[in-house]
Amino acid sequence: MALQHFGWFLGAGFGVQGWGDPTYGIGYDWKQPPVYQDAARVFEAAGLDLFIIEDGVTVPDTYGGTAEVNLRDARFVPKHDPLPLVPYLLSATERLGIVPTLSASFYEPFTAARLLATLQHFAGGRLGFNVVTSGSDIAAQNYGLDKQIDHDLRYDRAQEWVDVVRKLWRSWEPDAILQDTANGVFADFEKVHTIDHRGEFFQVRGPLNTAPLASEPVMVQAGASGRGQAFAGQNSDVILQLASTPERMRSYRDSIRAVAAEAGRDPDDLKVLFVVNPIVTANDEESAAVRARRSQLTQAAIDEALQGVSYLSGVDFKTFDLDAPLPELTTNSNQGTLDNFVKSAPAGSTLREILQARANKDGLAVIGTADQIADHLGELSDEVGGDGFLFTGQVHPAHVHRTLDPLVPALRRRGLLRDELGDGGLRANLTDF
Ligand SMILES: Cc1cc2nc3c(=O)[nH]c(=O)nc-3n(C[C@H](O)[C@H](O)[C@H](O)COP(=O)(O)O)c2cc1C
């Protein structure tokens, strides 16, 4: 067992935390920063490297062609913009990496480069950004398009976007600012350059008008399809990924590392972090009760699962007969998510069988006592050869403490979790080991 990197992926984004839980809303307002600041402080004390905040730009209405379930159950909506939350999280912490999600499809590269550079100056090297391409047509329709551009082309465009953002960050030489009061020279004009980018998708003159960066924000990505992996493998510092079995984790990691090597990178510069949902129980009886509850395919559980996969894949799963084999499906949206879902059960399975298989396997959930979960994560890291894990879940303090208070010491006893974060910024912490 070796030291692992850990983080927290806030899958609900800057949105409703814990709707449906008995603790919902007690002592906090999800629309205000304190609940996220409190969580960030706990993550930092726990030694987690980074806090990633999901984002999306729609009121999802794919499931059944209506937003009813999403609005009724507060699933993926309402959701606030994570970028204005970042300074609050930075001010609550000193070492934790803060990673908002940003859409390469809808932010102009100049706007993104400027925003992220400004935030990185506040962050002192602790900023990351999760780059997404926003696959759904309803998102595209909020930005003047009739439909989202084709999947692979979207990644081609995102590649050029990343190139432009990085060129802008490098448009000032690191020592361009002199602040030479004796000679009256603030900045050396010969060290600030236009980028004159004229590509297939963007035309950007530059230079950026923010001050140069001591370190560029850490890029995070979750591409899973062939084209998505090529994009992530070529550009990303951190990959966040969903995979429900050790075999899939291993094969994903091998594949993305090979892509990175082909792109001329050292694969060890790329940290692949798998999302897990730890459900900490007091004993085996409680674990059995949790498993029994989660494996029941109630209508609420069916709606919950299907609205989620409909949202993420852009395919309306309400249109399929639960008891007929699922037809062959393709999507222009998140291909990896759809593939993972469909392959949860043998080919030819009905939708109900797929849902049941996922419920029985508990998906990303790891249910057990803190020691059992820590053992499991240790074994998983040995088997997958992975770099670490992202815990997921809402950030109501009751949930955060219920999870991390027992789990952190159990992970530390096994040498899996560091005692404390270094103070050199997110990139330095990620490359410590
Ligand atoms: C763990 C995880 C987190 C993600 N977070 C977001 C997000 O915050 N916003 C978003 O629009 N897409 C998000 N995605 C979607 C990915 O950015 C990407 O589009 C998806 O993995 C599909 O890529 P593929 O078509 O290459 O398989 C996430 C995906 C995964 C697996």
| Full DSSP string of 31-68 | TSTHHHHHHHHHHHHHT--EEEE----S----GGGSSH
What residue owns the CA closest to ligand 1's atom 29?
A: 222
Q: Both 301 and 415 in a single domain?
A: no
Pocket test for ligand 1, best of 50, 337, 389, 391 (most atoms within 8 A of CB): 337
Residue 330 in any domain: the answer is yes
Domain containing 135 — which CATH number? 3.20.20.30
Is 63 annotated in a binding site? The answer is no
Taking the mean position of all CA atoms in its chain, how far away is CA 370?
A: 24
In this predicted structure, what is the pLDDT of residue 361?
75
> Cβ contacts of residue 322 below 8 Å, gap of 6+?
302, 350, 351, 352, 355
Residue 281 in any domain: the answer is no
What residue owns the CA closest to ligand 1's atom 8?
A: 54
Q: Is 239 in the pocket of ligand 1 (CB under 6 A)?
A: no
Distance 221 CA to ligand 1 centre (A): 7
Integer Cα distance of 377 and 1 in angstroms: 9
Atom of ligand 1 nearest to the CA of 155: 26
Distance 186 CA to ligand 1 centre (A): 42
Residue 168 in any domain: the answer is no
**Side chain identity at residue 273, one-letter code:** L
Q: Is 54 in the pocket of ligand 1 (CB under 6 A)?
A: yes
Torsion, Cα 93 111 188 122, to 10 degrees, reads -10
Q: Both 30 and 112 in a single domain?
A: yes
Q: Both 426 and 381 in a single domain?
A: yes
User: CB of 113 within 8 A of CB of 168?
Assistant: yes
Integer Cα distance of 256 and 427 in angstroms: 19
Instruction: For residue 263, give the 3-state DSSP assignment.
Output: coil
Domain boundaries, position 41? 5-160+210-275+368-430
Q: Is 276 in the pocket of ligand 1 (CB under 6 A)?
A: no
Q: Both 154 and 47 in a single domain?
A: yes
Q: Both 334 and 400 in a single domain?
A: no
What residue owns the CA closest to ligand 1's atom 23?
A: 223
Residue 190 in any domain: the answer is no
In this predicted structure, what is the pLDDT of residue 364?
82
Q: What DSSP character marks residue 251?
A: H
Q: Both 250 and 321 in a single domain?
A: no
In this predicted structure, what is the pLDDT of residue 193?
98
In this predicted structure, what is the pLDDT of residue 47?
98
Is 376 annotated in a binding site? The answer is no
* Total number of domains in the chain: 2
ipTM above 0.90 for this complex: yes
**Distance between first and last Cα of the chain:** 13
Q: Both 257 and 394 in a single domain?
A: yes
Q: Which of 344, 361, 378 is the last residue of a domain?
A: 361
What residue owns the CA closest to ligand 1's atom 6?
A: 54
Give the pLDDT of the chain (433 residues) as one tens digit per residue: 799 999 999 999 999 998 988 888 888 899 999 999 999 999 999 999 999 999 999 999 999 999 999 999 999 999 999 999 999 999 999 999 999 999 999 999 999 999 999 999 999 999 999 999 999 999 999 999 999 999 999 999 999 999 999 999 999 999 999 999 999 999 999 999 999 999 999 999 999 999 999 999 999 999 999 999 999 999 999 999 988 789 999 999 999 999 999 999 999 999 999 999 999 999 999 999 999 999 999 999 999 999 999 999 999 999 999 999 999 999 999 998 899 899 889 999 999 999 999 887 766 889 999 999 999 999 999 999 889 999 999 999 999 999 999 999 999 999 999 999 999 999 999 999 9
Q: Both 384 and 420 in a single domain?
A: yes
Residue 258 in any domain: the answer is yes
